[in-house]
Each structure stands twice: as structure tokens, then as C-alpha cells.
Chains A and B, each alone.
Chain A
Amino acid sequence: MLEVTQLEVAYGGIRAVKGIDLRVGAGEVVALIGANGAGKTTTLKALAGLLRPKGGRVTYKGADVTGKPAYHLVRHGLALVPEGRGMFQRLTVAENLAMGAYIRNDAAVVAADTERVCALFPRLAERRRQLAGTLSGGEQQMLAIARAMMARPQMLLLDEPSMGLAPLMVQKIFETVRMIAAEGVTMLLVEQNAKLALETSSRGYVMESGCIVLADDAKTLLSNPQVRHAYLGE
């Protein structure tokens, strides 16, 4: 579904991603783990079309999409749930969901989808008319995922869905992530919570200062002594 070869991203002169290779097959959930500042978010932003790569190639559904802007990729079913949730605080929950379906103009289907995500997140349904800025952190993360689902993506890029949430809430969010994956949505999951991320994925990549240092099955990575030591705190 997504093929990345020798991707390089730089901020000014500083190279944050130094030529990485990555592959996500259709229907697969792949984790990208690593410490703070390893370049995970930068990679995701480049894949979502929010940053222009400096080098390398990105192929999505067989087409070269290197450097294509986000509004182009979203129309082709590639959606990002940004780090820090990216709430539209002054819009209501319902309006945030509507923004998720911004690229679509089949009102009837959008209405049906709104019902569908509201069934998935009953909490959001209760708060439809509330401004997004007044939601709790967990609710905002739910809204961020629900909003991305409104674009009917074939592939989701999830950036740190567990960030700043209490353990119970993190469990809930990951339950939803698994549910969405079970529906056949392909996912690339960036996480600091390596254990949860790998338990949710089939394969994983480990990133360290702009490079991919390990790539393997999620199970193998979970039992890899290096990974256990560096990311699982054992």
C-alpha cells in the first residue's frame, strides 16, 4: 500500500530523517517506535504531505506521490491523525467531524458516517454540540481519530495517540484502533509506548536519530533484548 525508499526530510539544513526505507502492506498495522526526537513525527508528516521530502521516493497505492500536498493525499484515502490531536477548538464536536469529511460532498453518506463514528465513540455523540476545546484529553483524542475516519481513509497515519493520556484512556484508545484495523483500514502507528504499539501491530520499525535501526515482526521485536532494554524499560 505504502512504499518508502530512501526518504530524507530536513528542516533548513538539519536532516531529521536520513534516508529511511519503509513498507506497509494493504490491511497491515505497522508500528514505528523510537525515542523522542528520533524523527518519527517528521516521517509521518512527510508521508501525509505536510512536509516536502528532501530526497527519496514515496509510493502510495502504486503511484508516486513524493512531495504531493496533503489535500491531494487525503482525497486518495490517506489520512493523518496529527500529534497533539489538532483540535479545531472553536468548532463543535459535530463541526469537527464535518471538517473530517471536508473533501466529500455526498451529504447523505457523510450523515451516515457521522452516525457510524458516533456509534463507535458514544462519548462524542453525547457531546456533539460542545466546543471541541472544552473536551477532556481522552475525548479529544477520540474526536481526532473519529474525525480522520470521516474521510473514509484506506490508510491511517496515527501520531502518538497515547500522548498525555491516563493508562485507562490509553487502553480505550488502542481498543478503538484495533477495531478500526479489524475493519480493514491500513495503519502506520507512531508511538512512544512501544509495548502497546507492537502488541497492536503485525510488524514494527525502530527509529533512532533519523535512521531505521531495526525492522522485524512485532513479536520478534517485543522479545528482542535490545528493544526490551531501550524501549520497554527492562
Chain B
Amino acid sequence: MYFDETNNYFDIVNNETEYEIDKYVDKSNYNNINVNIDSINFNRDTNLYSPLEGFNKGNMFSELYSKYKNHSYKLKVNNEKDEILYKIQMYSFALKDYNLYLDIYPNDSNILREFRSTKQMLEDAKKKYESKYGPLCITSVESTSKWTWLDGPWPWDKGGIY
């Protein structure tokens, strides 16, 4: 465990080896071994939270998760608009966390696959939201009669997109 919950303290020294870069870099050497790659379990998915759990926690990678005291929160959905928006935020968040990971480990095919499938779900959710509630970014403005970017509340407005 990276984070010592009892003592509320980051145990850096004892876990140094766990984060040795070798562990990840060496993995690519496996490709040189003459075996069926698909039969080897490179699967890191056991370390990944679902997008919903990861979003609630603020961390997609269970081995990095560190809780503060008993603080743990789950988002509550009040209406359909929230539900689609939270989905967009949730998938965007998962992509962001994969993004930071892939910057360091660009050859992890499991996470690359997660990135691609999550991206598709994000795009679907965005289309659904924007067709009903207005554009989330300038390039989503479709109307030729009205500048719809002004429609709807701003993210900091209460009761709006929050």
C-alpha cells in the first residue's frame, strides 16, 4: 500500500521499488519472447476503477488511490440533464487520467484500448447532451440563425451546469 492510512502518511521509501520505471519499461521486452501474446495476462484492468467509481474517487488507478480519513463521496443525480452531464464529466475524467498515465507509459495497450472505447462513449454522451441543452464548446454550435453559445447557464451558475 502506497498510502499508510493508519498513520495518515505517504510511505515513499518502502514502496520505491513498486514504482521503479523498470517494471514498466521491461514489459515491452516480452514482445520478443516467442509465445502467444494473447495468452499472457498483461491485463491492468484489475487496477482500474470503473469510470463511475473512478470519477467519484478522483482517481482511475486503484493502486494510487489514497483516502483521507473516512471521506468518501458519491454524486447524486437530480434530473435527466444532470445525468447526461455527469456522464460527460465522468468519461472526460477517465480519459484525462488515462491521458496522464499514457504520457508516461505510451505502450500500454490495455489502457490504450480503454482510452479508445471511453472516447466513443464520451462522444455519444456529448452528442446527446448538446442536441438537447446547447453547445459545450464553440465548435458544437450548429445554428445559422442564432448564436447558441449564449444559451444555458455557465458552469459556476447555481442550478445550471455545475
A pairs with B: no
